[in-house]
Structure 1
Amino acid sequence: MSTQYQASVLHAAKDLRLEPREISAPSSDELQIRIASTGLCGSDLHYYNHHRNGDILVREPLCLGHESAGIVTEVGSSVSGFQPGDKVALEVGLPCEQCDRCKQGRYNICKDMKFRSSGKSFPHFQGTLQERVNHPAKWCYKLPEDVSLDVGALLEPLGVALHAFRRSQMPSGGAVIVFGAGAVGLLCAAVAMVKGASKVVIADIDAGRVDFAVKNGFAHSSYTVPMKRGKDIDQSLAIAKETATAVTEIGGVGEVDVVFECTGVPSCVQAGIYATRPGGRLMLVGMGNPIMTLPLSAAALREVDIVGVFRYANTYQESIEIVQQGMKSGPDFSKLVTHRFVGLDQAPKAFEMAGKTKDADGKLVLKVVIDSNDDASNSAKL
């Protein structure tokens, strides 16, 4: 027996359509979940605006959305530990669990990963901008009573930040610079704060975002990066050195142990190399230009490790602990959700808002979330 529900489906660039779909009862190892909060991220915006994400093309109608939490409505026959009414966060990447990477616990780089809302695998694994989904219980995480559904949706991008932190090998009491004060940059800064960094400086071209970071306890200090571009590579590298010097002088922090580069912009990656101390690490978190000119000798001669970061693995339980710690002593992760739209018919407006830095009232836009329907009892207050 199947039930009809609504889904927001992308057919072409900026062509979202509300369509009926059918869902059957969950399989024995699955939960059926009413999606109550889905955050929009950069990859969603790329698909929405361009019908592609870099080299990955959308080849069939696709539901976007992968930062999600919801409420269990049905439980598969062999599932234990869950019951209808439970609040859960969804980990939406399903690895093969058989390859060497999976066996090493690095399933985030499994070649056969199926990831909701991505066009990489075909048929596409449909995203969470649907009223309901069936999802393996193994990849669902029960939320404590004091963690809202919107914060539950943030556990996905928080996982990226936590994974980046783990790979950074930040020493105890280390100093950190974060380039980029979007949602992921703010989360990287927050994780460093929670993990005991002695100094966290966040840098961005948007003064409003870096001010938000400091005022809300996501970083100790901030730097607003001037809008300067070089005419050639030599001039560009000179500007990057200037930026690195200016950022490292904030609060007398000096060269830092770890730089989290969350923009993907070549000038910030260049500045990140110059700002990292000998033996430190530059973490490439942002997905940006695929081809860059970098001062590699400046990294090699000082043994600065340049480390890639892709999604996350085994992060959800610790991420829940981090947001609970933030509720007691800061930062308050719920403040990252700045705009909320109720109903899948509001998805086009939500995507347009997510593409802005400020709304019509001048309010900062950080994380936009969509509730799949207008059932007020399942709103963010839960």
Structure 2
Amino acid sequence: MSVEGKTSQTAVVCHGGVDLRTETREIPQPKDGEVQIQVAVTGLCGSDLHYYLHGANGIFKIREPLVLGHEAGGIITSIGSNVDKSFGLKIGDKVAMEVGVSCKSCKNCRKGRYNLCKNMKFASSAKTFPHLDGTLREFMTWPAELVYKLPEGLDLSLAALAEPLSVVLHAWRRANLQPGSKVLIIGTGAVGLLACALARASGSTTVIAIDIEQGKLDFSKSQNWSTGIFCLPKGPRVSGLESLEIAEQNWKLLKESNVIQEIEGLEDGFDAVFECTGVETCMQLAPMAAAIGSKVLYVGMGTKVLSLPCGPSLLSEVDLIGVFRYANTYPDALSLLASGKLGNVGAMASHYYSLENAEQAFNDLRRGKDDNGKTVIKPMVGNLSLIGK
């Protein structure tokens, strides 16, 4: 494959809150140890949406125009010099890209926990400066060691799911659960849905999913990823003690619901709770729903300072575990996607958009529905001809 004489490309660039521009940029050429990739598809996630709406994700504010997107797959179009043959990469390969570049030399990198590298540069994140552009563009170059050939049978359109699945897989490893466990998943965005799917595939007998959007819960149940669902009432975004009161009310509603009452012993809590929203009320609910001696996995990000009801949890030896991105997961995540063990994960890719229509994708993600009222699960943006869409 080749760029066919092209020297410029289309890129989707965020300049600030609700200031998304489609721009023409030069096509980069691979340096030593890099490959050039024609990006086929990028899945949009919550952090992309925060940058689009606010020009920031939490405390990380855009300081220069930033190409968004980090959940992606594509096709190798050129290979730079000194790309080790052991990577097994060649022009025309369909690949997924792990988009965090660590320093490799700090203590955490040497211990294999490179997701905690303080010098990590992550594509489409404003945490470091100069920023590292993301994947919402036609072509990019990337270190060959972070590029993974897709397993046989894995559709290129699903390569973008390897990134959110990696987050889930990292959380699942930290939970260290046994088959037969009973888990609660708070939030049924893409990460929460994949957490449900992985829990079921790993032998969890009870997987309860909760959210404020009935459409996403119904989708989870329709895929047999959850054994029970419960829709919480929508409320205002509050914090501190006011948020804690809402969390207590929500736990009471859930505990008294049929979805809990029908399963013996579940009113005493779950073996593990995966919090996948980053919303303070949900983060407060999580330890309330944890059984004695169990674990809470904080997968969702977004609340810097919060009041956690951890007093009772500490007395009950509930482990509160933080989950930040992932490490050493990509090959296993791709294998899982190709294996079929997770079910019809392709159904998560609910909507496809061209790069030129990226802003429509962001707005549909913000609303949670498209113009026809269909629930938006995971918007995919890119070169639709490459994935047959």
Q: CA deviation at 1:135?
A: 0.3
C-alpha separation between the residues in 1 aligned to 2:313 and 2:7? 57
Q: Identity rate of aligned residues, in percent?
A: 42
Q: CA deviation at 1:233?
A: 6.5
C-alpha separation between the residues in 2 aligned to 1:69 and 1:338? 17
Identify the match of residue 9 of structure 1 among 13, 21, 25: 13
Counterpart residue number, 1:19: 23
Structural RMSD (CA)? 2.0
Structure 2 counterparts to residues 18-97 of structure 1, below 5 A: 18-79=22-83, 80=85, 81-97=88-104
Please tell me the residue identity of whatever aligns with 2:209.
I
C-alpha separation between the residues in 1 aligned to 2:188 and 2:242? 27
Shifted more, 195-204 versus 142-151: the winner is: 142-151
Counterpart residue number, 1:331: 343
1:364 aligns with 2:375: yes
C-alpha separation between the residues in 2 aligned to 1:168 and 1:183? 19
Structure 2 counterparts to residues 198-213 of structure 1, below 5 A: 198-213=205-220
Please tell me the residue identity of whatever aligns with 1:352.
N
2:248–2:285 Cα contact (<8 Å) kept: no
Q: CA deviation at 1:176?
A: 0.5
Report the CA distance shift for 1:2/1:220 in structure 2 as closer, same or farther (over 3 A): same
1:175–1:253 Cα contact (<8 Å) kept: no
Report the CA distance shift for 1:216/1:253 in structure 2 as closer, same or farther (over 3 A): farther
Please tell me the residue identity of whatever aligns with 2:33.
D
Q: CA deviation at 1:297?
A: 1.3
1:242 aligns with 2:252: yes
C-alpha separation between the residues in 1 aligned to 2:248 and 2:78? 59
Gaps of 5+ in 1: none
C-alpha separation between the residues in 1 aligned to 2:9 and 2:244? 57
Identify the match of residue 124 of structure 1 among 122, 131, 146: 131
TM-score using structure 2 length = 0.91
Counterpart residue number, 2:307: 293
2:44–2:378 Cα contact (<8 Å) kept: yes
Q: CA deviation at 1:228?
A: 6.1
Count of residues in Structure 1 that have an aligned counterpart in Structure 2: 375
Q: CA deviation at 1:273?
A: 1.1
Counterpart residue number, 1:284: 298
1:221–1:251 Cα contact (<8 Å) kept: no
CA displacement 1:52-72 (0-9 Å, x = unmatched): 111111011110010010011
Please tell me the residue identity of whatever aligns with 2:45.
C
Q: CA deviation at 1:120?
A: 1.2
1:179–1:263 Cα contact (<8 Å) kept: yes
Please tell me the residue identity of whatever aligns with 2:352.
R
C-alpha separation between the residues in 2 aligned to 1:21 and 1:234? 48
Q: CA deviation at 1:23?
A: 3.0
Report the CA distance shift for 1:78/1:253 in structure 2 as closer, same or farther (over 3 A): farther
SS at match of 1:197: coil
Report the CA distance shift for 1:277/1:348 in structure 2 as closer, same or farther (over 3 A): same
CA displacement 1:68-101 (0-9 Å, x = unmatched): 1001101123222111111000001000000110
Gaps of 5+ in 2: none
Please tell me the residue identity of whatever aligns with 1:236.
I
Report the CA distance shift for 1:286/1:234 in structure 2 as closer, same or farther (over 3 A): closer
2:183–2:207 Cα contact (<8 Å) kept: yes
C-alpha separation between the residues in 1 aligned to 2:151 and 2:388? 14
TM-score using structure 1 length = 0.93
Shifted more, 212-221 versus 85-94: the winner is: 212-221
Counterpart residue number, 1:302: 316
Identify the match of residue 171 of structure 1 among 165, 178, 183: 178
1:171–1:257 Cα contact (<8 Å) kept: no
Counterpart residue number, 1:379: 387
SS at match of 2:293: strand
